[in-house]
Amino acid sequence: MRSDTLARVFVLGFVCAFFVYLFGPLIIMGVTAFNSSQFPRVTPFECFSVEWFDVLVNDEKLMRGLRNSLIIGLGVVLLAVPLGLAGALMLTQVPNRIRPWYYTIVIAPILIPGVVLGISTLVFWDRLGRMFGAGEGSIFYDGIFLTIVGQATFVSAYAMLIFISRLQRFDTAQEEAALDLGATHVQTFRKVLLPFLKPAIGSAAVLAFLASFENYNTTVFTALTSETLITVLASKVRYGINPSISALAVIIVALTLFGAVIYEIMKRREAAAERESARIARGEIETRAKRAALIADPALIIFVLICVAGLGTVYFAGTMGVEECKAEVKAEKKRTTEQRVRERRTLQMFKGAAPGEETGQGAAPTAPDQPAVKAKGTEGYQSIFAPQNLQEQAGTGTGEPAQDAGAPARGTEGYTNIFAPQNLESQVGVGGGTPAQDPDAPAKGTEGYTNIFAPQNLESQVGVESDKKNE
């Protein structure tokens, strides 16, 4: 393989990996929005359904947050764009010696964390409201107003950067020419500068709206009792989400693509109109290739694909039997669950039975050379309370003979004092055929008693009292 071919393969692979990384999460989220599963997932895909869009629309809390986000975004655009434009125009008017200091000051809000901006905005307006004696229901304690003001403090800096980049290409000689021709400063601004800044105004407005719409750090402090879309989504994520969130993402992405495609189509049509005017001025004739190029416009193709995808989704969602599919999936889940329960019970039954033990269920006998396996859970019983002692004493269940009556019971070999169980058998002389103990001999285990508390003293005392009575 040649080096240039290998380089193209690597570049193509990198580009594909980049786009997969960029659009992969969006595609996965889009698929989950049409899965009937109760949890957002791609596999297993149960049924194709658009029910989560209906759940999204009927979620009052989410819709209220969306409405507040739209109001706040519009307010931020109306406040941040003029502030950014004023800051950019002021930057062009200050002396060169002061310009770096001024630029640093107006850009500083971008570098301040959103948490600090939110808390400072809340504290400032609270103190201002107390100074004027405003109540809780006043504008000083309104969550939507405070959020607009708090977000505009740093969003206006973003808008200012866009205006600054546009003004760097502006020729100030046009303003000077307009002023020399008798125009006022207001007329010069409205008829010379604003038309030049029109693309920058649109870009700044879109950027300000998006920055406000997705902001959380500042909003969570300034919103107070009000809720925005981001705060509602954050609370839902903490307590569990359903695919309606994916449906909301699909709608946002679709609207974004739709707006971008419409803007691109309008821009291309304006450029085409300018070329057509130039062509007519030159007296050229439109060819078939030029007409084909207009039809094969990429923006128009994307727009058509989006419309076809939307119509196809609505069609399939209305024609496919969603309820029948859900019933079938539910029955399949039930069968799978029952099968798993049966397999688990069978596995537990075989694990609980000891090899070679007759359980009455057809267990296989143990091989002669295989060591005996103790019952499960009785491995630590080594005393007289061991369950195996019962089998050995009874001589049943395993086919082994009963234990010798004269031998000490299993686990009682260490009992050599007066409390030894063997003493009972020796005293009564029954059970094992052993003769009774000699009456004159001391009881087994009592040889050491030589004080007044010795048991023999009682017998001797009883004999003396009987002799005295006979006399």
pLDDT at 398: 46
Computed over its alpha carbons, how large is the radius of gyration of the chain?
46
Q: How far is CA 79 from the centre of its chain?
A: 35
In 320-357, alpha helices (H): 322-352
Mean pLDDT rounded to a whole number for the chain = 76
Q: What is the pLDDT of residues 291-328, one digit of tens each?
A: 555 555 666 677 677 677 766 666 665 555 667 777 77
Give which of 19, 16, 47, 24 is closest to 34, Cα–Cα.
47
Q: What is the pLDDT of residues 53-83, one digit of tens each?
A: 888 888 888 889 999 999 999 999 999 999 9
* Torsion sign (Cα): 348, 352, 354, 356: negative
Q: Which residues pair with 48 in a beta bridge?
A: 35
Which of 8-12, 58-62, 315-319, 464-468 shows the lowest per-residue confidence on average (mean pLDDT)? 464-468
Count CA atoms closer than 13 A to 172's CA, side-chain side: 5
CB 121 within 8 A of CB 153: yes
250 Cβ neighbours under 8 A, 6+ residues apart: 29, 30, 33
Residue 156 confidence class, pLDDT cut points 50, 70, 90 = very high
Q: Which residues of 227-241 are buried (b: 16+ CB within 10 A; e: fewer)?
A: bbbbbbbeebeeeee
More confident residue, 106 or 371: 106
Reported pTM: 0.63
pLDDT at 286: 58
Which residue do the tokens 């839902």 mark? 236
Asked, as a colleague might, if the bond just before 435 is cis with ω within 30 of 0, I would say no
Give which of 232, 228, 226 is closest to 141, Cα–Cα.
226
Q: Which CATH number fits domain 61-242: 3.30.930.10, 3.40.50.20, 1.10.760.10, 1.10.3720.10?
A: 1.10.3720.10
Q: What is the mean pLDDT of residues 228-257?
A: 84
The domain locations on the chain are 61-242
Which residue do the tokens 């946002």 mark? 252
Residue 241 confidence class, pLDDT cut points 50, 70, 90 = confident
pLDDT at 456: 64
Examine the pLDDT at 471 and tell me if it is beyond 60.
Answer: no
Q: What is the pLDDT of residues 167-202, one digit of tens each?
A: 888 888 888 888 888 888 889 888 889 989 998 998
Examine the pLDDT at 26 and tell me if it is beyond 70.
Answer: yes
Q: What 3-state class would DSSP assign to 307?
A: helix
Examine the pLDDT at 377 and tell me if it is beyond 80.
Answer: no
